[in-house]
Amino acid sequence: MIDSVRAAFTLPDLRRRILFTILMLVIYRLVSNLPVPGVNLSAWLAFTQQPTTNSFIQVLNLLSGGAVSNFSVMAMGVYPYITASIIIQLLTPIIPYLEELSQEGETGRNKMNKITYYLTIPLAILQAVGQIRLIGFSITGGLDSIMPHFGLGASDLLPTITTLMAMTGGTMFAIWLGEQITENGIGQGISLIIFGGIVSRIPANIAGLLSLPDEAARFFAIAAFVVLTVLTVLVIVVVQEGQRRIPVQYGRRVRGRKVYQGQSTHIPLKVNTAGMIPIIFAQSILAFPALIAQLFIREDGTGVVHNVAQWIVAQFGQQTTFFYWAFYFVLVVGFTFFYTDVMIQQQRLHETLQRQGGFIPGKRPGKVTRDYIMAVVRRITLVGALFLGLVAVLPGIMQLVGQLLNIPGIEQSALVITGAGLIIVVGVVIDTMRQLEAQLLMRHYESFI
C-alpha cells in the first residue's frame, strides 16, 4: 500500500487527483464547523456531551462525519442521499419505468442518478424538520431550549425557512463535494466524506480513554481498544472479501462463420452483500420507540399507558440494557437477509445467464437456477448477518465485560471507532487502494506501449 501511494505521487496526474481529494475533504471539514442559523449552540453541546444521547442522533453523527455534534449546516451529512438511493433501489423492480432505465446502460444510470438527486431535496427538508423535532423530544426543556425560533408562527416562519434552507443546502453541498471527488479525485466521493468524518473523531475519542480517572481502567481500556480494533479489522477484511463462487459453463456459440468454444467462469457471491446498510436501518428504527413513548408520559406519573411508556423509554432510550442490544442484534440480522434478497433479485442473474447462453452445471436454466442461487445466497448470508450483528452490538458486549470484571469505562474502548464505522473505514480504504492500483497499472501499460 505504501509503495502504491509513493508511486502515485511520482505521477503528475495521480498526484493532482490525490491532492484534489484531500482538498475536498478539508473543505468539508471546514464547512461542517459552521453552525445552523438560530441554534443555541451552548445548550446543544451540553446535550450531545451526555452519554445517554439517543441512537438516532448517534447514527446521524456517524454519517455526517461528526457534524451533528455541533449542529452545523452539514448536520444531515449525505444521509438523505443514501436514503433516496435505497428507496430507488427498492422501487426499481416495482416501477416499470425505473426497471427499464436500469437496463439502459450508462444513459439509464445517469437518469436514475438525476431522479435520486431530485428525491434527495424533499427528503432532506423532511429529515431536517424530523431531526429537529426529534431532538426537541429528546432534550430536557424541549425544542425551545436549543432552537427558540423554530415553528410555524408568524414571527418564527422566516427563521424556520432559513434553518431548513441552510441544512438542505449543506446536504446538497456535501453531495456535490462527493461527486467532485468521484469525478476528479481518487475513490468513491460519498464514502470518502463519511470516512473522513469518522477518522477525524478518532483522536478526540482516544483522548477520552486517556482521561479516565482510574489508572488501571485506563490501561485496560487502551489495551482493549488496540486488541478490538486489530481483531475487528481482520474479521471485517476476511468477511467483506469472502466469496462463494458458483461455477458457470457457456456452451459453444456460432457467430457468422466463427465458432466460439464454451468457456468456464463463475458467479462471485459475496458473504456480506448488504454492507453496513442493515446497521443504519436498525439504528434508525431503534430510535423511534423511545421518542414516541415520551409523548405518552404524564406529568402526574399515573396510568397504565404512562407505565408502559416509561418502560419503553427505559429499555430503548439508553444503550445500557440487555433488551436494547438483543433487539438491535435481531434487527440487524433480519435487515441483512431482507436487503440481500432485494439486491440479488434485482440483479436477475438467472435471466442474464440464460440470455448469454450460460448455465450452472447440473441446474436447468430459469426457475431452477434462480432457486439454487437464492438458496446459496441465503446460506452464506447467515454468516454475513451474524458478523454484522456482532459488530453492531460490540459496545454492549464490552459493557457486559466491564460489569463482570468490574472495570469502569472499558466499554469506551468499543466507542473510539464503532463497528459500523470500522466497516466503512476498511471498505473505503480497500476500494480506494484498488482504484489507485488500477490507475497505476493503466499508466504502466501506457508507458510500456
Q: Tens of pLDDT along 286-298? A: 766 776 776 677 6
CB 236 within 8 A of CB 422: yes
C-alpha cell recorded at residue 206: 482516544
Of residues 17 and 423, more confidently modeled: 17
C-alpha cell recorded at residue 320: 445500557
How far is C-alpha 448 from the chain's CA centre?
40
The helix-helix angle for 277-293 and 304-316 (nearest 10°) equals 150
For residue 323, the tally of other CB atoms under 10 A from its CB is: 11
CB 388 within 8 A of CB 232: no
- Rounded to whole angstroms, the Cα distance separating 200 from 62 reads 11
pTM, rounded to two decimals: 0.74
For residue 22, pLDDT beyond 50: yes
- Rounded to whole angstroms, the Cα distance separating 439 from 449 reads 16
pLDDT at 449: 40
pLDDT at 318: 63
- Rounded to whole angstroms, the Cα distance separating 232 from 297 reads 40
What type of residue is 157? Answer: L
For residue 81, pLDDT beyond 80: yes
Of residues 164 and 240, more confidently modeled: 164
Q: What is the average pLDDT score of the chain?
A: 78
Residue 360 — very low, low, confident or very high, per pLDDT cuts 50/70/90? confident
- Quick one: average pLDDT of 317-334? 80
Sequence-distant (6+) residues with CB within 8 A of 218 are: 209, 210, 212, 409
State which H helix or E strand residue 244 sits in.
Answer: strand 243-250
What type of residue is 361? Answer: P
- Quick one: average pLDDT of 113-135? 84
The helix-helix angle for 419-448 and 12-31 (nearest 10°) equals 160
Q: Interior CA angle at 25 toward 43 and 42, to 5°?
A: 5
Of residues 162 and 421, more confidently modeled: 162
CB 388 within 8 A of CB 427: no
End-to-end Cα separation, the chain, in angstroms: 25
Sequence-distant (6+) residues with CB within 8 A of 430 are: 237, 240, 241
Residue 447 — very low, low, confident or very high, per pLDDT cuts 50/70/90? very low
**What are the pLDDT digits (tens) for 164-220?**
899 899 889 988 998 898 888 888 888 788 787 777 777 777 777 777 777 777 787
**What are the pLDDT digits (tens) for 327-353?**
888 988 988 888 888 778 777 777 777
For residue 124, pLDDT beyond 80: yes
**What are the pLDDT digits (tens) for 259-273?**
665 677 788 888 888
pLDDT at 252: 65
| Residue 428, CA distances (Å) to 5, 197, 379 in order | 15, 12, 26
For residue 53, pLDDT beyond 60: no
pLDDT at 254: 63
